[in-house]
Amino acid sequence: MESALTARDRVGVQDFVLLENYNSEAAFIENLRRRFKENLIYTYIGSVLVSVNPYKELEIYSKQQMERYRGVITSFYAVSDNTYRAMRTERKDQCILISGESGAGKTEASKKILLYYAVTCPANDHMAALGDRLLQSNPVLEAFGNAKTLRNDNSSRFGKYMDVQFDFRGTPVGGHILNYLLEKSRVVHQNQGERNFHIFYQLLDGGDDNLLSTLDLERNPQNYHYMVKGNCPRVSSINDKNNWKVVMKALPVIGFTEQEKLLNIIAGVLHLGNTQFGEGEEGETYITTETQIMTLAKLLGVDGSALREALTHKKLTAKGEEMISPLNFEQAVCARDALAKAVYGRTFTWLVEKINQSLSSKDSSVIGLLDIYGFEVLQHNSFEQFCINYCNEKLQQLFIELTLRSEQEEYETEGIAWETVKYFDNKIICDLIEEKHKGIISILVCMSSYLERLVIHKLANGKTRRVMSREEFRLLHYAGEVNYNVNGFLDKNNDLLNRNLKEVMCQSDNQILSHCFRKEEVIDQKRQEMAATQFKNSLMKLMEILMSKEPSYVRCIKPNDAKQPGKFDEVLVRHQVKYLGLMENLRVRRAGFAYRRRFEAFLQRYKPLCPETWPNWNGRLVDGVSLLVNHLGYKPEEYKLGRSKIFIRFPKTLFTTEDALEAKKFIKGFIYRHEEYCPENEYFLDHVRYSFLKNLHKNLPKSVLDKSWPTPPPSLVEASEHLRRLHMRNMVIKYCRRVQPEWKKQMMQKVVASEIFKDQKDSYPQSVGRLFLDSRLEREQINLKVVQTLGNDKVQYGVSVIKYDRRGFKPRPRQLLLTNTYAVLVDRTKIKQKIDYTALRGISVSSLTDGIFVLHMPSEDNKQKGDVVLQCSHVIELVTKLAMMANKINYVNISPGSIRFSMARGKEGIIDFVRGSELKVAKGKRGHLLVVSQQLSRCHVGSLQGGEGVLLLKTFQPADCVQSDFTPQTAPRNSTT
């Protein structure tokens, strides 16, 4: 772990409590900025983690890094690790509260915490299946509960609390999700530049033609009333088609067997939005889209006539008598939209229940994760922002209360006097919203017009009148003032579904809808709770859950609105620091003492600074700490000794101690730097090693061709070389994994050619830059009769060759065809000779620039025909392929002088190779075949018949035949070797 001085000088402090000017918001933000620029996105306020979204993947999320950071108190994983250890040792349920505005990384933070438990906790087969279900539940929940908003392309439009359940061994064995306040109004209306829930776009873009035809849907989202309001059908950062595949793959993993019924509901919502109404002369309302209503009835599994009646009439009960009353045009539209919201909202709740069934376990030890919507201040704030901000107000109240309580409990436990801290008590705002009979929620329930009860416009001062309309009221939240527009408040709060629509849905033969709309609901005559009341009650239950657990906190910050890595918008960050209450939290933490550490840890770190505690202290810990701080000159007002901890009031005191420690360790360490690792040099050597490894991390070679490597210190020479080999190996592995099959095949052949010919044959260098082709003969060049004769033995490679007979070495044009088991020599339409690979004794070539090679046949064949002497313009390519297919790579002989071969009737022949002024092949005086080879300046291979039966070969190999880059992607099909 870095020292406080090193961290402060380079990238700020790892704990805001150690800031010199802790009351300065500017210093707070500057510390965030400096760390963010170094990819150090996690900083603490005591035990509270502040996380800045990097908008990119960091290396700290690998399995190896997670294992490395276990127990390191300054890492992101400390929150995960500490809660897990506390649950195991104290047997008390824990919870992690993740907060921040949309796009700050809350959902990603919760995923990383779950991943940490999956990687580091004890594992079994059940956990692997559970982890898969947890992983697959995310895309499903995001598809049905997330949407593109102005601030975030993948914004969670619901609150989520998840309990991760552990058995007695500490193994995760289950989970349970509670969902809060799905933004159902988004189903029927979206603001300009926003979209409906992802699943609608995924279905239209990813569903196949047969599915869309079955659902009577078209691909164009602009054809659907519920998808055109935001005028944003496509988003560059979202691939709806791919996401659809992910969701469809995930559903079976988490136990879904009702995909068809689920998709019928989603399609039904779209058709419901396209249901249109007309108005008669007497004000009666009727449906103008009869075809639409029948399709809708079929998808929802209900009676079409009953649905038509329920959308245009409402059922009333007065004095025990039931009456049917027609709806006017506006009421019918509201009834249609209310049904769409109810169907989608209840289906989402059913979806969460199904996920819970796949994750359920009876084990009682849990760690809860709260991923809730962040505080919102938009240009126009309506009912949804009111509920979201009320939720954040309650969480802030809980946060302050628990933070103060835990701080006070620690001081009381250690016997340290507590100093009262002034802070904004937002209980007054919570009461204003939720107080019984008087609060805003109660007023919403009993009044149709309530603005006058909240803000009396005519009594407001001139400044307030100018910024507030008569349709607005203002609340002074902990994060600042917010004006709420009351237009639509009551409609969204009522969220009431006509009784006769409920009756129709209760009769659905779609099992999902019949589960979501219970018959008991129709029989119960009690007035349905309004949305705000339901949300208030669910929020109270959430507070009870959180109060019953030991809390930890993650405060997420969005560094910029463009979602751009490396960009830090100070104005935006300052706004979030304010509404997250981070400065207030820091003041609470610093109210007493900025720094605290257990006696044994303090002694272990700073004992070298005092002769009486170095190298070891064997007395009482408190006495040793007392001696140490007295030797360092601590003043009484700078510290207090508790029962098991030392409390230091000012960061400056700690920094001075750290400076002294670094100076002592570095000086002594430098003197002993060449000695074996010992207490005198351990800090110095650790620092040197750390500095080298950090520098190495930033300067690792990016290519297998880059041979640079930082020079290591003497103590790391062996480790550095090991790391260099590992890194090179990893780069090679990554490179090989990217290689396409055809390119891999080409490279394998080239490697074999190198093993055989490199530094052995003169013409090899000119062949390196040229591709080996699959065949040198087109299909039509091979006679059909030959192909039929070969039968199932398919030709793998073919090339034109010249065969020299054993009677005067007369040249004969032939085709050499290679199959998987043998080679054949073909003369036009006839197979002249079959060469079985298993019988092939070897292959001989010369070391000079010519195309001659000899195939050595078995001795029993030698009595009849002898070895085969051939010439080919692509000898390196041909011999390489033949050697690989025959598995005779080690049987290739390269001769610098002559080649002996068997002739007919047991006779032996000899080919002599010499250099000369002119390339030729001739029969010598002793009956040898003489090949004279000369490397010339132009690239041409040809042959002509010389006098007296002498074969004359001319070979030309130019310098421009060599290609500097071996690039199979661009090489022509008929390139030559």
User: Which residues line the annotated binding site for ATP?
Assistant: 100-107
The annotation places the binding site at 100-107
DSSP bridge pairs for 381: 484
102 is catalytic: yes
Instruction: Label residue 641 exposed, middle or buried (CB < 10 Å: 0-12, 13-18, 19+).
Output: middle
107 is catalytic: yes
Task: Answer for the pair 295, 271: CB distance below 8 angstroms, yes or no.
Answer: yes
> Which residues, other chains included, contact 398 with Cβ-Cβ below 8 Å and sequence gap of 6+?
543, 546, 547, 551
Task: Answer for the pair 872, 853: CB distance below 8 angstroms, yes or no.
Answer: yes
> Which residues, other chains included, contact 200 with Cβ-Cβ below 8 Å and sequence gap of 6+?
221, 224, 226, 227, 266, 269, 270
SS3 readout for 429-486:
HHHHHHCCCCCHHHHHHHCCCCHHHHCCHHHCCHHHHHHCCCCEEEEEECCEEEEEEC
Residue 815 CB neighbours (<10 A): 22
Q: Return d(Cα 454, Cα 26) in angstroms, integer.
A: 36
**Is the bond leading into 172 cis (omega within 30 degrees of zero)?**
no
CA-wise closest residue to 554 among 98, 56, 20: 98
**Within 13 Å, how many C-alpha atoms sit on residue 276's CB side?**
7
152 is catalytic: yes
Task: Point out the catalytic residue in the list 31, 80, 99, 107.
Answer: 107
Q: Return d(Cα 343, Cα 335) in angstroms, integer.
A: 12
Alpha-helix runs per DSSP H in 607-673 = 621-632, 651-671
Q: Return d(Cα 307, Cα 517) in angstroms, integer.
A: 15
Task: Point out the catalytic residue in the list 51, 80, 120, 152.
Answer: 152
656 to 228, 408, 650: CA distances (angstroms):
63, 28, 10
Task: Point out the catalytic residue in the list 206, 374, 592, 624.
Answer: 374
Secondary structure class of 235 (helix, strand, coil): coil
Task: Answer for the pair 143, 243: CB distance below 8 angstroms, yes or no.
Answer: yes
155 is catalytic: yes
928 to 290, 852, 903: CA distances (angstroms):
99, 14, 12
Q: Strand 159-166 relative to strand 172-180: parallel, antiparallel, unpaired?
A: antiparallel
Q: Which tokens is 902 given?
A: 């068997």
Task: Point out the catalytic residue in the list 12, 75, 99, 103.
Answer: 103
> Which residues, other chains included, contact 294 with Cβ-Cβ below 8 Å and sequence gap of 6+?
304
Q: Return d(Cα 86, Cα 89) in angstroms, integer.
A: 5
How many residues in total does the chain contain? 977
**Is the bond leading into 615 cis (omega within 30 degrees of zero)?**
yes
Q: Which tokens is 755 given?
A: 């093993």
Element at 942 (helix H, strand E): strand 940-945
Q: Return d(Cα 190, Cα 408) in angstroms, integer.
A: 47
Q: Which tokens is 535 given?
A: 């949300």
Task: Point out the catalytic residue in the list 156, 285, 681, 819.
Answer: 156
Q: Which tokens is 620 given?
A: 């009482």
Task: Point out the catalytic residue in the list 31, 80, 102, 110.
Answer: 102
Task: Point out the catalytic residue in the list 108, 376, 434, 877.
Answer: 376
> Which residues, other chains included, contact 902 with Cβ-Cβ below 8 Å and sequence gap of 6+?
856, 857, 859, 862, 866, 867, 908, 909
Q: Return d(Cα 196, Cα 194) in angstroms, integer.
A: 7
Secondary structure class of 794 (helix, strand, coil): coil
**Within 13 Å, how many C-alpha atoms sit on residue 89's CB side?**
6
Task: Point out the catalytic residue in the list 75, 120, 155, 483.
Answer: 155
80 is catalytic: no
Q: Please give the positions annotated as active site.
A: 102-103, 107, 152, 155-156, 374, 376
